[in-house]
A and B are shown apart, each in its own frame.
Chain A
């Protein structure tokens, strides 16, 4: 038996989901104090005040709160894991938690980096790609999706694959005028559209955002070599150097998440059991994960699922 840690991607969780845990859990409180210090404002006050606003799900405050919750939960579980983990991974937003957990960047710096990247991203999408969303579709095998995307290409409609979550579960970025017909075709083929994310993510179209983040934010941070290998969510490669950890974070802006490749790499490393610290509504629950690993969810005690 060998264990791995999977830090969840960020879902649309709000203050009502995490506020109580962040207020009461001693590990979370310690990280909150660090956050207040490095951010220069009281995180919980801002997080609470932003709750319910249109952008609250993915606001700077929500992102930092989510990061803290994941790091607190794995810290709390230390010593209780069935075996020392041999690798960690973090699809999409989870890459930030994985980098902090691996030791490639201290938690305090990752908190600050998360907040600054959130601001950078918000600023970028205020004027760029203002009509682009990333739509998730389930029950849509690649052969079916490919035909739909080919038809979009024929119609000169821009689109990009932003991620593969499972054999028949994908994330596609496109402009909102293309969405209606795309969804209709997915449904006609028996696929189930789930949600459209804004801001969009993981597309080669956002190369300018990657450059902006590198120049304006990442240049202020120095990464170390991870003490625990990280599996890159873009291609399943094993990240063991500071430079590769930094690239993984930046490439998240422009390269799709390839979750099945991460699962494959973890299996190659011998992982049989995975712990998922944090609120997870996706990567720990898809068949690709549950058929390959024993999944142990580490969630705030107030939640059952």
Chain B
């Protein structure tokens, strides 16, 4: 399961998700305002926050479909580093 830091960062890119609503693992991020340019901004934020450079297959819209898919991709990238 992800940590508070990840959740706070992800929420800041979801303009339609009320603060009171739970960030479910299978939440469809697009439905809550993460459009294409939102994905670009989120990617930059994640790389800066976790000091990683995402490349290859991770860079697809599927990665940014749900909180769990994105967290898994991020964890794979930084497997040896504490998130």
Contacts and interface: CB of A to CB of B under 8 A. Distances in A.
B16 A192 contact: no
Contact of B40 (A138, A186, A305): A138
Nearest to A194: B36
Given A187-B57, A304-B15, A282 B43 contact: no
Which interface class (under 10, 10 to 19, 20 to 34, 35 or more) fits B? 10 to 19
B53 A190 contact: yes
A187 B37 CA distance: 16
Contacts of B59: 186-187, 190-193
Interface in B2-61: 15-16, 33, 35-37, 39-40, 43, 53-61
A270 B37 CA distance: 27
Contacts of B33: 304-305
A190 B54 contact: yes
B16 A304 contact: yes
A190 B55 contact: yes
A6 to B, nearest CB: 15
Interface string A169-212: 00000000000000010111111111100000000000000000
Contacts of A188: 55-56
A26 B14 CA distance: 31
Contacts of A304: 15-16, 33
Contacts of A184: 56
A25 B16 CA distance: 23
B39 A192 contact: yes
Contacts of A194: 36, 39-40, 61
Contacts of B55: 187-190
A184 B58 CA distance: 11
25 contacts: A138-B36, A138-B37, A138-B40, A139-B40, A184-B56, A187-B56, A187-B57, A187-B60, A188-B55, A189-B55, A190-B54, A192-B39, A192-B40, A192-B43, A193-B59, A194-B39, A194-B61, A195-B36, A281-B35, A282-B36, A282-B37, A285-B37, A286-B37, A304-B33, A305-B35
Interface of B: 15-16, 33, 35-37, 39-40, 43, 53-61
Given A139-B43, A194-B40, A285-B37, 14 more contacts: A138-B37, A138-B40, A139-B40, A186-B59, A188-B55, A190-B53, A190-B59, A192-B39, A192-B40, A193-B59, A193-B60, A194-B39, A282-B36, A304-B15
